[in-house]
């Protein structure tokens, strides 16, 4: 880990961070003892109200890195919004709120709310009337509430942009800047991101004051343990191969990624025809149904979650056995975030990418070069076992 360009190797235990008994009790209930590098680096500065810009791989505990100080700073006696977290997707916003709610379990009087599009706004308005101190929101829906005057941000002290690069890349930069411009009494701003893009730097330059820069590289102590394979397979045999790999590996929890909504629906149907419990999420599915599907998957009621890249980032599902790239992703970054769903929390993970065309082969070659990942080559011959390709 680097802090302001200097290498820092010390990783702290939570008991060394001078946290309240209530927060320590909540952390202990989760079974956590040692903070991750990003938490060890960020929490002390956040506790001192410093601006932070943090770059860390997916799955390294960023939510606790900003969530613990935010919860500690909240005054339960003040019925105003004091902490604000902005997230790019509804799924990520929901997950962040769930983690913050866990941290608040023993902090009497601290309330959280999650605001996102695709859900009835009237119900959210009723929740806001309960005077939450922490708001987690997607930028568009928060702007809706601000226009309706159903939420006030004048008492907000801490603002965090989570997955900042993704949020700004999705076109939220104008909403984000309008929101930040309305928070006049802010004490600190945190930017958390897997990559630090030009847009993220622009926000930092305008809205942060002498930020502490924290970088956690994907090195041995935090890089996920993922065995990666690329498999040459005829397009018509991909579903069969997926089913066989599930059975051969004894995988109980899998995510399969497709590039299109149509392919996501098709693969789900093909897996169900083979007797495999599967369901899918993508942008055309109602939010209520997507949330139900994600809950079923987290609870182990679904063996396979089929998804477009809407689920590749932000979803904190940390015990996935295997990831299937049913389609080769269009971007190197998508590949990294897809396979990052497995091998989390120091578990061993497996990722299979299925390659059927020359174009996909070239795309996968580029991914390997660009991400510097070691990917073992295999070939699937119908009705036979996987065999390593010779001469390649």
CB 344 within 8 A of CB 59: yes
Three-class SS state of 153: coil
Which sign does the torsion angle of CA 238, 239, 243, 244 carry?
negative
Q: Which residues touch 68 (CB under 8 Å, ≥6 apart)? A: 17, 19, 23, 27, 39, 43, 46, 103
- Report H helices in the chain: 21-29, 37-47, 62-73, 90-103, 121-128, 139-148, 164-167, 173-182, 198-207, 238-249, 261-273, 287-298, 332-339, 358-371
In total, the chain counts a number of residues equal to: 392
- List per-residue pLDDT tens for the chain, 392 residues long: 677 667 777 778 899 999 999 999 999 988 888 888 889 999 999 999 999 999 887 667 889 999 999 999 999 999 999 999 999 888 889 889 999 999 999 999 999 999 998 888 999 999 999 999 999 999 999 999 999 999 999 999 999 999 888 888 778 889 999 999 999 889 999 999 877 888 889 999 999 999 999 988 765 445 567 889 999 999 999 999 999 999 988 999 999 999 999 999 999 999 999 999 999 988 788 777 888 888 889 888 999 999 988 655 556 566 789 999 999 998 877 888 888 888 765 567 899 999 999 999 999 998 888 777 788 888 887 666 566 654 44
Cα dist from 296 to 174, 273, 328, whole Å: 35, 19, 26
Give φ, ψ of 305 to 5 degrees: -105, 120
Q: Is 34 helix (H, G, I), strand (E, B) or coil?
A: strand
For residues 182 and 306, what is the distance between their CA atoms, to the nearest angstrom? 39
pLDDT score recorded for residue 333: 75
Q: Are 297 and 253 in contact (CB under 8 A)?
A: yes
Burial level of 348, CB count in 10 A (0-12/13-18/19+)? exposed
Instruction: State whether the Cα torsion 161-319-64-113 is positive or negative.
Output: positive
Q: C-alpha angle with apex 38: 72 to 21, nearest 5 degrees?
A: 30
Query: CA 245, 324, 63, 299: dihedral to nearest 10 degrees?
Result: -50
Residue 242 near residue 326 (C-beta atoms within 8 A): yes
Using alpha carbons, list the distances in angstroms from residue 96 to 65, 74, 160, 283: 12, 17, 11, 20
Task: Identify the DSSP state of 131.
Answer: -
Spatial separation of the C-alpha atoms in residues 98 and 106, rounded to whole Å: 14
Would you state the structure tokens that stand for residue 333, as one six-digit string?
């970054």
pLDDT value at residue 372: 77
What is the DSSP secondary-structure string of 227-257? EEEEEE--GGGHHHHHHHHHHHHT-SSEEEE
Contact 13, 189 (CB under 8 A): no
Dig out the tokens for 49 from the structure: 């109200």
How confident is the model at residue 221, as a pLDDT? 47
At 52, phi and psi to the nearest 5?
Answer: -135, 135
Here the tokens at position 239 are: 């579903």
Helix then strand then coil, in percent of the chain rounded to 5, is 40, 20, 40
Strand order in the sheet with 225-232: 278-281, 304-307, 254-257, 322-325, 348-355, 225-232, 375-380, 386-388
DSSP structure string for 298-313? HTTS-SEEEE-GGGSS
């Amino acid at each position: 880990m680097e802090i302001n360009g200097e290498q820092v190797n010390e990783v702290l235990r939570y008991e060394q961070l001078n946290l309240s008994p209530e927060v320590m009790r909540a952390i202990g209930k989760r079974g956590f003892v040692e903070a991750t590098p990003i938490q060890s680096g960020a929490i002390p500065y956040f506790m001192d109200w410093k601006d932070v810009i943090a770059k860390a791989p997916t799955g390294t505990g960023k939510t606790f890195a900003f969530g613990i100080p935010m919860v500690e700073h909240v005054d339960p006696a003040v019925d105003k919004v004091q902490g604000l977290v902005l997230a790019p997707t509804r799924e990520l916003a929901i997950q962040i709120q769930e983690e913050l709610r866990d941290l608040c379990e023993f902090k009497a009087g601290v309330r959280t709310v999650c605001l996102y599009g695709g859900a009835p706004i009237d119900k959210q308005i009723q929740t806001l009337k309960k005077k939450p101190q922490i708001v987690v929101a997607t930028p568009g829906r928060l702007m809706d509430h601000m226009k309706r005057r159903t939420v006030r941000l004048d008492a907000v002290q801490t603002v965090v942009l989570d997955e900042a690069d993704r949020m700004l890349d999705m076109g939220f930069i104008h909403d984000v800047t309008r929101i930040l411009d309305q928070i006049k009494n802010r004490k600190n701003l945190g930017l958390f991101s897997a990559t630090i893009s030009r847009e993220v730097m622009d926000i930092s330059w305008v809205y942060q004051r002498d930020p502490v820069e924290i970088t956690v590289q994907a090195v041995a102590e935090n890089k996920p343990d993922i065995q990666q394979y690329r498999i040459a397979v005829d397009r018509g045999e991909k579903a069969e191969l997926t089913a066989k790999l599930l059975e051969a590996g004894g995988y109980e929890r899998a995510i399969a990624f497709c590039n299109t909504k149509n392919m996501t629906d098709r693969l789900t149907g093909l897996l169900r025809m083979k007797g495999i419990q599967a369901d899918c999420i993508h942008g055309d599915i109602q939010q209520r149904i997507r949330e139900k599907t994600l809950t079923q998957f987290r609870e182990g009621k679904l063996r396979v979650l089929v998804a477009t890249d809407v689920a590749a980032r932000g979803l904190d599902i940390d015990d996935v056995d295997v990831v299937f790239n049913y389609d080769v992703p269009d971007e190197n970054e998508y590949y990294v975030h897809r396979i990052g769903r497995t091998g989390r929390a120091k578990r061993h993970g497996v990722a299979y990418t299925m390659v059927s065309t020359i174009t996909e082969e070239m795309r996968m070659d580029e991914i390997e070069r660009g991400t510097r990942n070691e990917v073992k080559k295999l070939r699937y011959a119908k009705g036979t076992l996987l065999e390593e390709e010779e001469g390649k």
